[in-house]
A and B are shown apart, each in its own frame.
Chain A
Amino acid sequence: MIEQIRAARDAALASLASAASSDDVRTVELEVLGRKGTLTDLKAGLGRLPTVEAKKAAGQALNDATAEVSAALAARLGEFRRAEREVQLHAERLDLTEVLRAPRRGHAHVVTQAWQRLEDVFVGLGFQVAEGPEVETDWYNFEALNMPAAHPARSMHDTFYVDHGPPGSTVLRTHTSPVQIRVMQTMPPPIYMVMPGRVFRNETADATHLAVFHQIEGLVIDRGITLADLAGTIEAFTKAFFGPGFGSRLRPSYFPFTEPSAEFDIQTPSGSWMELGGCGMVHPNVLRAGGIDPEEYSGFAFGFGIDRMAKERHAINDVREMYANDIRFVEQF
């Protein structure tokens, strides 16, 4: 019996050694350990052995043989699986530079990108964001901003008038400043607000000017706000938006709705100055128009163009390009 066991074992090991594929291995497994396999048959014959000792000895031999064959089986199977996976992997090779079509993501408008970056910087500086209508009354656009009818400074604005209501009563807002008044009327100080939006000037477009463009305006009203606070806020914004190497300065200027008024310039790390926008302390007449007592509160306002930020950032040489909506332009950003 023990000889038969050993013979079956040796035959199985020999078959495994000469197996050429994982299928051959599985065939051997069936022939030896399957329901009618050689070792399985021998196991069934154990009961017919005469003595307990003989049974014991043969059982032991059978277990050893089975273990030996199983181990060889697993080893050979592993070998073949690795080899076959190897072949499969090789066959599946892809040239990853051979891509037919990429999925297309959408592209936000360059002005929206600049708009959102500005909002984010001001939010970080503690500002909230307000918006207002683009079609405005003369009162909000001019009168409340210290430009009563026939005020000479109105000629600084090339205004589009809208045929709505009494003649001259409705305009396309020439700046985002009317939102200042709307904010003052609806929320009590303290006010720390920026107001981005679309504005309109009745002037022929060229490489640096548009009739329809975008501005962002800031308004701070609180107790004890000073001109130095304005300069410091501009400086904080400059560093946050352009980078720590940038600086800023205020130069006296004139706007009807602020006094003292200033232009603000930013200085690049290389030392050159760039004119950015206008600002100043909110004129007492404007505070009054917004329902705020100028003796109790003071404030400052500032504003500048959003489109210009996009133009400078991306080195676009003509602002009109940004509004041609040419997909070849849109997809660049």
Chain B
Amino acid sequence: MRIVHSWLADLVAVGDDVAAVAEVITNLGLAVEEVFTVGATVSGVITAKVLRTERHPDAAKVHRVHVDAGDGVERHVWCGAFNMQAGDVVPLATPGTVMPDGRAIEPKPILGISSDGMLCSARELGLGDDHAGILILPADSPLGVPYGAALGLAEETVYDVDVLRNRPDCFGHLGFARDLAAKLGLPLKAAPPTPAPTGPQRTATVELLAGDRCPRFTSVVLSGVQVGPSPEFIARRLTAAGMRPINNVVDVSNYVMLDTNQPNHPYDFDTLGGGGFRVRLARDGEKMTTLDDVERTLTADDLLICDATDRPIGIAGIMGGQNTEISAGTTVVALETAWFEPAGILRSVSRMGLRTEASARFDRGADPHGIDRSTAQFVELLRLTCPDLVVHAGAVDARDEPHLPVPPVLRVRSKRVSQLLGSPFTVGQIRGYIEPLGFACAPVGNGATSAAGEDLDVVPPSWRPDCVQEIDIVEEVARMHGYGALGKTVPKSTLPGGLSGVQQRRRRLREVLLGLGISEAMPHPFLTQGELERAGLPGEALRLVNPLVVGDDLLRTSLRPGLLKTIAYNESHRRPGVRLFEVGHVYPPSDEVLPAEYEALGVVLAGCDATEAVTMWRELAAAMGWGARLDQGTVPAGLHPARSATLSLGKEAIGAVGEVHPDVAEAFAVGERVAVLELNLSVLLANEPKAAVWKPTSRFPSSDLDLAFVLAESVAAEKLDKAIRQAAGSLLVDLALFDVYRGQGLPEATRSLAYRLRLQSLERTLTDEDVAQVRHKVETATKKLGATLRG
């Protein structure tokens, strides 16, 4: 909302210190985002008449313009715009002028011919965005005078304020003036007196057929209207507030709205069928063309203003129609000022996608009793340009009283106010703060928890529909007292602060991953259908109803596609071999109230094969105290069928380890092998693993036993591993696979696996006999797997 300083100062004498006013406004909860001036003129720019223009044979983009700046001297300027012709009056920046962008005008010659200044566009003068050509000034402007005088420009200071939903009254200058008057203890400009009828009975009738949606609708007929330009101050302030002046009637209508926050609608009375209004709900499918020349199809929930012959002339509170518009020939005006039920307006606005200055005010809640001030002001201001204005007797104030909002009576306890704000407030102080804002207060007490006079019954003013509970009054008191004056205390928590177990374990996991040289990525959590398919993942995923980008509408069910895209991106920037992890949520569908969302870990190692992923899994599992079964018989979707495994805990799959399927890598334009590890962290981080139990280390020497086995390819190394451990028994303190050999000298479809067994006893030095025994046991046990000892 743009608040014009001079306008505000008309309503309450806030003084000239703009920065101070801005600060007071901000501290009242109406955040001033910017203070700027409009209409400031650039000194040194004067009016000049174009005498003639001519092209120069060597200059294609500029031409020569000869002007007269009123002193009879012919001046020459080079100009890059061609929109002027002889006789036009244009702004001439004379040499020495400093333009708003900081540029100084110098007599800069082109092709050896000097230029006596520069002709200016509207944008160059800070008069808007128009830079299509030179600004053409009114033809009757005197020459050689500042262009501002020719345009009737005067400087206005504007506060750009972010008005939030809770202050519908502050979509008008009056709302600001009320707050400032109360805060600063200044008087507020009184409303103009209700205009007495000055002419005979002439009525624009009102028929209310939907009182719940429009409980108050007033009309007054004004004749003697002469449509013409507005007074300079109205046009200037409207412009400063961001509205375009049109004519005196429309401008007054807008001015009154920006002042009182009360929209109103002037109709050409002579075009009003039946000379009156009917307010009714539309019929489903009923059509009407609005002022913006769009035919709109209505529903039975949209409210219509019709003339007395039932012809629709406006969508109530949103936009009027074309047929009753004020035109140059209008002499009699019927002024509608009404109050519409906010939620109904909001529904129509949302349905039609049509938001207007009027609707924005009605759907937040206008003041049902602000109509009178608004009408009086309309008449007062229109009289400035229409001295013969006649206010006809027979004005209508149609009401559906039961549907007019009644401000609530709020019990406000001074103890409660004090308790919530942390400072003692007496009933007197509370009244002192809120009565100037228009809140009516009556002291009471409930006798039980408060003495007589310790509480207040507070009735909010009709323009503050946001105040519906005691807590709203607490905020008013805090606002007027000033938040900064309430002090700063720190509450004493009796609880220990800290991270939860899951959070601590998640941090540990991240540290381990980082230590393993893997960096963290955060890809976008939405996927396209194509990405899901290219990743070879099942097609069931939740869809966004209203995605930002068409097609980018699936909630990911796996972190993998995002990480693969990241690898492809980095490969394309000549960074192959990235090692990345992501800790993030995935959202598989479910039949429950919410999807089966869980936290997952995804690790991708570009340029690595599956064994690297297994190594990472083992390292993480060891660091985190996790265990899981590696099941190569069940290959997770989208992974290499011969190089991947499911990680299971009991019957539950908790992850996958292996390598991305080459088809998938290709589909994601990834050129490298990608080792992958995926874990369900919601399961794995849920419980604190058992702390490791100390195993004594022996002080006796150890003996190493190296054994190479020939084992069929069909038998997993893990089984041999297990058999060795079982057979070697308690003397085995470490077992390591240190060599794998395939090829010459070995039977078909077998490989050699070389293990080093470190044997040690807690009680004694081992003898050759002990070692031989272990070897024998291991040999016997592994034979059952078909393994034979080599060499």
Question: Which residues of A line the B interface, CB within 8 A?
Answer: 103-109, 111-112, 116, 119, 122-131, 133-137, 150, 152-153, 156, 160-165, 167, 170, 172, 190, 192, 198, 202-204, 211-212, 220, 222, 224-229, 231-233, 235-236, 249-254, 256, 259-263, 281, 283-284, 298, 322-328, 330-331
Contacts and interface: CB of A to CB of B under 8 A. Distances in A.
A206 to B, nearest CB: 12
Interface in B540-592: 542-548, 555, 566, 569-570, 573, 575, 578-581, 584-585, 587, 589
Given A111-B522, A231-B486, A330-B520, A106 B546 contact: no
B772 interface: no
Contacts, number: 242
- Residue in A136, A156, A190, A330 with the greatest tally of chain B CB atoms within 10 Å: A330
Contacts of A135: 542, 555, 587, 594-595, 597
Contacts of B542: 135, 162-164
Contacts of A259: 471-472, 474-475
B422 interface: yes
Interface in B27-77: 27-29, 31
A134 B523 contact: no
A164 B496 CA distance: 39
A233 B491 contact: yes
Contacts of B363: 152
Nearest to B480: A252
A298 B580 contact: no
A54 B318 CA distance: 138
B490 interface: yes
Contacts of A133: 585, 594, 597
B569 A325 contact: yes
A323 B524 contact: yes
B754 to A, nearest CB: 28
B546 A161 contact: yes
B594 A260 contact: no
Contacts of A327: 519, 570, 573, 575, 578, 580
16 contacts: A105-B515, A109-B520, A109-B521, A123-B499, A126-B497, A129-B499, A212-B524, A220-B493, A226-B422, A231-B488, A254-B29, A260-B479, A260-B483, A325-B569, A328-B573, A330-B521
A249 B421 contact: no
Given A123-B498, A202-B546, A252-B478, A106 B513 contact: yes
Contacts of A229: 422, 489-491
A108 B594 contact: no
B522 A325 contact: yes
Contacts of B544: 160-163, 172
A122 B497 CA distance: 8
Interface in B476-527: 478-479, 483-484, 486-491, 493-500, 503, 507, 510, 513-526
Given A103-B517, A116-B507, 11 more contacts: A106-B516, A128-B495, A137-B594, A172-B544, A226-B419, A227-B422, A227-B486, A229-B422, A252-B475, A254-B167, A281-B471
Given A161-B546, A164-B542, A254-B165, A260 B478 contact: yes
A129 B165 contact: no
B5 interface: no
A91 B32 CA distance: 74
A328 B575 CA distance: 8
B484 A249 contact: yes
B593 interface: yes
Which residue of A133, A252, A284, A298 has the most chain B CB atoms within 10 A of its CB atom? A252
B487 A231 contact: yes
Interface of B: 26-29, 31, 164-167, 342-343, 346-347, 363-364, 419-423, 469, 471-472, 474-475, 478-479, 483-484, 486-491, 493-500, 503, 507, 510, 513-526, 542-548, 555, 566, 569-570, 573, 575, 578-581, 584-585, 587, 589, 593-595, 597
A32 B420 CA distance: 102
Given A165-B593, A228-B423, A233-B490, A105 B500 contact: no
A325 B27 contact: no
Of listed A111, A135, A190, residue having the most chain B CB within 10 A: A135
Contacts of A104: 517, 579
Given A106-B513, A327-B575, A227 B420 contact: yes
Listed residue (B469, B489, B589) with the most chain A CB atoms within 10 angstroms of its CB: B489
A142 to B, nearest CB: 14
Given A153-B165, A160-B544, A226-B422, A251 B483 contact: yes
A246 B422 CA distance: 24
A235 B488 contact: yes
Contacts of B167: 254
B525 to A, nearest CB: 6
Nearest to A124: B497
- Interface of A: prevailing SS: mixed
A139 B421 CA distance: 29
A311 to B, nearest CB: 14
Contacts of B546: 160-161, 202
Contacts of B518: 106
Given A229-B489, A328-B575, A128 B497 contact: yes
B595 A251 contact: no
Contact of A298 (B165, B420, B578): B420
Contacts of B570: 325-327
Contacts of B525: 198, 212
B567 to A, nearest CB: 9
Nearest to B589: A164
B421 A227 contact: yes
B487 A228 contact: yes
Most chain A CB within 10 A, of B31, B479, B493, B496, is at B493
B592 to A, nearest CB: 9
Nearest to A191: B495
A130 B494 CA distance: 18
A297 to B, nearest CB: 11
Nearest to B365: A152
Contact of A220 (B491, B513, B516): B491
Contacts of A170: 594-595
A262 to B, nearest CB: 6
A125 B487 contact: no
Which 9 A-B residue pairs are closest in the complex by CB-CB distance? A252-B29, A226-B422, A228-B422, A106-B514, A260-B475, A232-B488, A254-B164, A161-B545, A126-B493
